[in-house]
Structure 1
Amino acid sequence: MTGGTGGIGAAVVKQLVQDGASVIGLARSDNSAARLRANGASVYPGDLRAPESWVARAAACDALIHTGATFSDDMGRVDRQSMLALKQAAKHRKQPLKVVYTGGIWLFPGTGAVQTITEKTPFAPLPAFRFMTETIRTLSHGTDLNLTVVHPALACSRDSGPIADMTRALKAGEPFTTRARPDTMWPLVEIGDLAALYALALKQSRFRLSLIASSISGISVGHLASHISARHGQPLEIVTEDAPRNTAPDTDWSAGYALSQTVDTTHARRVTGWQPDHSTVEDLVVALSK
């Protein structure tokens, strides 16, 4: 696992350990190592920026799940170099290495370009995430890797994601400030459900597979806010903010919140047997609103 202490990665580690898997987490600090061990994983020291220190070990495993990202100016270069190094290391295997790569819903266009996004919808990535589409193409080429790409919708947990952010704003008596408008559509997925899909993706025998990980096909920001308001008995105001003037498009990680998207949620369920526990907005809000 790369990124095993991040929001998605930590949930995936817990799911895999619960399923009985032996998980090795890449850790570049003592703090990360301690968090991985606390979740039941063993640790291999290494840094995404220095793939030569860990790709041989990763290529010797049954599979690699890549959820790591630096979210720095060089994120694309680091991601591409680490995955190229992994692909090179995997050439020495007798069987293709199973790789589960994390893409994202923001690699796809907004609703203005297509009515409903499916796994067959051509990529139209935001500038900050364009590197992912290039890396996916590289990983898909050849027979060294058995590749599954998981494209998470907006992941929601008690501590992070749109529902947690809205709830914090409401309890603080403040408006919810976002790049979205009230009519912007957001596809959503609960973090535990997302982790369950990653675990199922490991078991798939298809050589090339793309999965949109969304249990809620799309809900307007205004509608989501009204659900949270009703849950807590307080009104929540939505304030739409402009893109920051001092942020270049290539590092504007939050631009995706302005995208209005509706997705088809059936493919991942049909192919993997995924059955998310939180398939309605009501389920999500009740489960995650503190």
Structure 2
Amino acid sequence: MEVFVTGGTGEIGSAVVKRLVQDGARVIGLARSDASSAKLRAFGASAYPGDLRAPESWVSRAASCDAVIHLGATFSEDMGRVDRQSMLALKQASRHRKQPLKIIYTGGIWLFPATTGDSLLTEKTQFAPLPAFRFMTETIRTLSHGTDLNLTVIHPALACGQTTGPIAEMTAALKEGRPFETRATSQTKWALVEINDLAALYALALKNARFRMSLIASCIPGISVGHLASHISARHGLPLEIMTVPAPEATEPLTDWAAGFALSQSVDVSHAQRATGWQPEHSTIEDLVVSLSK
């Protein structure tokens, strides 16, 4: 299988590319620089020169592949416009294929509302996106219309790796003897997923034959920030203080990409497992902390 990947050198993208290569796929990654090209080749993938902001330079090549996994984002003021334009261009480039193009689009847990009490988010929960990510819901609707694309949308929970995500950041704060600063409170609940488990779900979704699918990718349904901090403290035998901080002054909602950390969310983790056979290795907070809190 030939798979075109955008964002293949990011934290999640790197894990996805490595997993696909391991599974025997021929992976072609969009590369905006020589450094990105070198990184992709080191993973065992090929590099295709191009930029998300100039989709005309790469969508034809992407549409010629068996599948596209979209993980790229600019995280700049034009992020929404770039995302919509690139996905619309890809949809248009796929119109004359004999078979619909398989595309996996990356949404996010912050497209969903906060939960309270024992309520759980599911794939059927109506979107209530933060302003900075509202564009994703529009892009998803665009990609869902018609029969040009075989669409799967994956909504990752907070992705945790050795050097990225809440556990790594909490561990770094603890070792440096400083409070962990966050928009959350100690009672805020976060849904979590280990980054290689997340990559495994992308690989399984790629093989799934269903024409339309939405998957929330979470291994830990929801753990309070205070409880997570206590696990990390116990792991290292040192106290970790949680310090809730406000949004920086003059932060615009449309570019406030960290606002989601203040959302308290718990999710039903079962659908992705039932739909794809996904069996995450890190399904308890103890496993996750021991694995990542070095």
2:153 corresponds to: 149
Write the deviation string for residues 49-92 of structure 1: whole angstroms up to 9, x where unpaired.
00000000000000000000000000000000000000000001
1:79 corresponds to: 83
1:275 paired with 2:287, answer no
- Choose which of 26, 30, 35 in structure 2 pairs with 1:26: 30
CA drift of 1:245 comes to 1.8
1:136 corresponds to: 140
Show structure 1 runs of 5+ residues with no match.
none
CA drift of 1:113 comes to 9.8
d(CA) in 1 for partners of 2:280 and 2:119?
A: 24
2:45 corresponds to: 41
1:209 paired with 2:202, answer no
d(CA) in 1 for partners of 2:248 and 2:265?
A: 22
1:180 corresponds to: 184
Q: Which amino acid aligns with 1:133?
A: T
Write the deviation string for residues 195-220 of structure 1: whole angstroms up to 9, x where unpaired.
00000000111111000000100000
d(CA) in 2 for partners of 1:92 and 1:13?
A: 27
1:288 paired with 2:292, answer yes
Please state whether the residue corresponding to 1:181 is helix, strand or coil. Answer: coil
Write the deviation string for residues 121-153 of structure 1: whole angstroms up to 9, x where unpaired.
000000000000000000000000000000000
Q: Which amino acid aligns with 2:42?
A: A
1:257 paired with 2:268, answer no
d(CA) in 1 for partners of 2:11 and 2:137?
A: 22
Please state whether the residue corresponding to 1:48 is helix, strand or coil. Answer: coil
d(CA) in 2 for partners of 1:8 and 1:139?
A: 22
CA drift of 1:112 comes to 4.0
Please state whether the residue corresponding to 1:88 is helix, strand or coil. Answer: helix
CA drift of 1:237 comes to 0.3
- Please report the TM-score for the alignment, with normalisation by the length of structure 2: 0.98
d(CA) in 2 for partners of 1:193 and 1:114?
A: 25
1:164 corresponds to: 168
- Please report the TM-score for the alignment, with normalisation by the length of structure 1: 0.99
Map 1:47-126 → 2, pairs under 5 A: 47-112=51-116, 115-126=119-130
d(CA) in 1 for partners of 2:147 and 2:40?
A: 31
CA drift of 1:225 comes to 0.1
Show structure 2 runs of 5+ residues with no match.
none
CA drift of 1:47 comes to 0.3
2:241 corresponds to: 237
Please state whether the residue corresponding to 1:13 is helix, strand or coil. Answer: helix
CA RMSD of aligned residues (A): 0.9
d(CA) in 2 for partners of 1:153 and 1:239?
A: 22
d(CA) in 1 for partners of 2:58 and 2:158?
A: 30
CA drift of 1:101 comes to 0.2
Q: Which of structure 1's runs of 4+ aligned residues deviate more than 4 A?
A: none
CA drift of 1:276 comes to 0.2
d(CA) in 1 for partners of 2:209 and 2:40?
A: 28
CA drift of 1:247 comes to 1.1
Write the deviation string for residues 22-48 of structure 1: whole angstroms up to 9, x where unpaired.
000000100000000001100110000
d(CA) in 1 for partners of 2:239 and 2:48?
A: 47
Write the deviation string for residues 205-240 of structure 1: whole angstroms up to 9, x where unpaired.
111100000010000000000000000000000000
Percent sequence identity is 77
CA drift of 1:288 comes to 0.3
